[in-house]
Amino acid sequence: MNIWLILLIIGIIIAIILGVLYYVGNKMQKKQEVQRAQLDEMAQTVSMLVIDKKRMKITDAGFPRMVIDNIPKRAKMSKVPIVKAKIGPKITPLLCDEAIFDDVPVKAEIKAVVSGIYITNIKNLRNVAPPEPEKKGIRAKLSKKSAEYMRRH
Q: What is the pLDDT of residues 14-61, one digit of tens each?
A: 999 999 999 999 999 999 999 888 888 888 998 999 999 999 988 888
pLDDT of residue 135: 62
- Return contacts of 35-42, CB within 8 angstroms, 24+ apart: 36/150, 39/115, 39/116, 39/118, 39/120, 40/115, 40/120, 42/115, 42/116
User: Topology of 38-152 in CATH?
Assistant: OB fold (Dihydrolipoamide Acetyltransferase, E2P) (2.40.50)
Q: Once rounded to an integer, what is the mean pLDDT over residues 54-82? A: 87
* pTM for the full predicted model: 0.64
Between CA 42 and CA 18 the distance in angstroms is 36
Q: Whose CA is closest to 102, among 83, 76, 118, 123?
A: 83
pLDDT of residue 40: 83
Q: Residue 103 pLDDT > 90, yes or no?
A: no
Q: Which of the two residues, 114 and 39, has the higher pLDDT score?
A: 114
